[in-house]
Structure 1
């Protein structure tokens, strides 16, 4: 009997509990100010504010993730699926739902750059200060994994913020990864015009005018955008 008890105790001692969400979050070392300006509700805070989670909302999230895991999704694959759902919610302007999915994706794979990209976009659309948006974009582009859009969107954010020198490497990396991304081509044309690099700017305008509409984007709206670029080409004497 003593031998059986010893065996049981030894097994119990070797049991290691998975870290809690809060522990995973704190290991990332994200400063408190990055979770939103003062008074930001928890449903609008990146990574749930890195606080201990409890209650019905936490329980519902756990059940939701368990259903995905039952489909065989774990780790990176689980994170990608949650990120995909987050972008879907952004598309219909359900920002708390979008952020919830990005926050859950973080726990599945903290190294997924698209998690932080999604968070940065939500922070932008909810009117958080630029330094908070910038922090999450920086997290996005410094991760090894993620889609080219994180560089494109960060470059656009920097361009709109007047940080032209910082915008260039982001946009150039984005277009190297996605040579036919018309939105990035437009941003590069704008950047070069603002930096008085006329020849390069006009070359990007030509690429814009030869581009096809992005998948799913209404052709009539895209044609109106191109008409504006044709006018710009004339104004800038691009030839």
Structure 2
């Protein structure tokens, strides 16, 4: 089961505080790595795509054993890759993000062309606040499945968060282009219309934002983010008078 990426409109005055908190956590993690060799091994396994580093002979042997076991227990490596990706999504749902990364890494090891592996890793990176890394992984997944409308929405969500936090992972225009393509491929996706409304809000196109909020509402009211609606009302009242 996949999990939709949330979108938070973070006030700019909060960003410095968040950055300081994240820096402190990173510092603590580095100390643990130096003191605990077990953590170093674990970190290697839970880095997206195994950290994209060249594996040593011992690590390669472990991979070979794993692949051999999968060959003996699955119809083929494509099926095995799908199995581990599904486990990865389950662990995301349980909040076990590092375990999810390891499962998606195994999925990638079995089949580097499995889009789900990159998608799952991108979602975990997003949830960890690593937006640049998330955008890179999700975009790679889209190259493997270029007409995946849901994945386009997730990439646009990451790009909008980058825009809000002024990070270097694409511009708001790129998010808008992806959302335009996504709703052309699937105009019934309420989540896509919600994210489209947010993108227009960030560009101060408030009429368009209201138009897309109402498209979202008509498709599935449960997707309407009332916190966002209140922020939009503060900029311009609902032309249809439904939200007050």
**Which residue number corresponds to residue 107 of structure 1?**
109
Deviations 1:193-238 (A, max 9, x none): 222334432221111211236xxxxxxxx38845863884694332
Deviation at 1:89, TM superposition (A): 0.7
In 1, the alpha carbon distance for the partners of 2:225 and 2:180 equals 22
Which residue of 185, 190, 197 maps to 2:193?
185
TM-score for the superposition, normalised by structure 2: 0.64
Which residue of 69, 92, 102 maps to 1:66?
69
SS at match of 1:118: helix
Aligned residues: 191
In 2, the alpha carbon distance for the partners of 1:237 and 1:79 equals 47
Do the aligned partners of 2:156 and 2:175 also contact (CA within 8 Å) in 1? yes
Do the aligned partners of 1:69 and 1:78 also contact (CA within 8 Å) in 2? no
Q: Which has the larger radius of gyration?
A: 1
**Which residue number corresponds to residue 20 of structure 1?**
none
TM-score for the superposition, normalised by structure 1: 0.65
**Which residue number corresponds to residue 169 of structure 1?**
177
Superposed structure 1 runs of 4+ greater than 6 Å apart: none
SS at match of 1:206: helix
Indicate how the Cα distance of structure 1 residues 69 and 179 shifts in structure 2: closer, same or farther if over 3 A, else same: farther
Task: State the superposition RMSD in angstroms.
Answer: 3.5
SS at match of 1:85: helix
Deviation at 1:139, TM superposition (A): 1.3
In 1, the alpha carbon distance for the partners of 2:211 and 2:46 equals 41
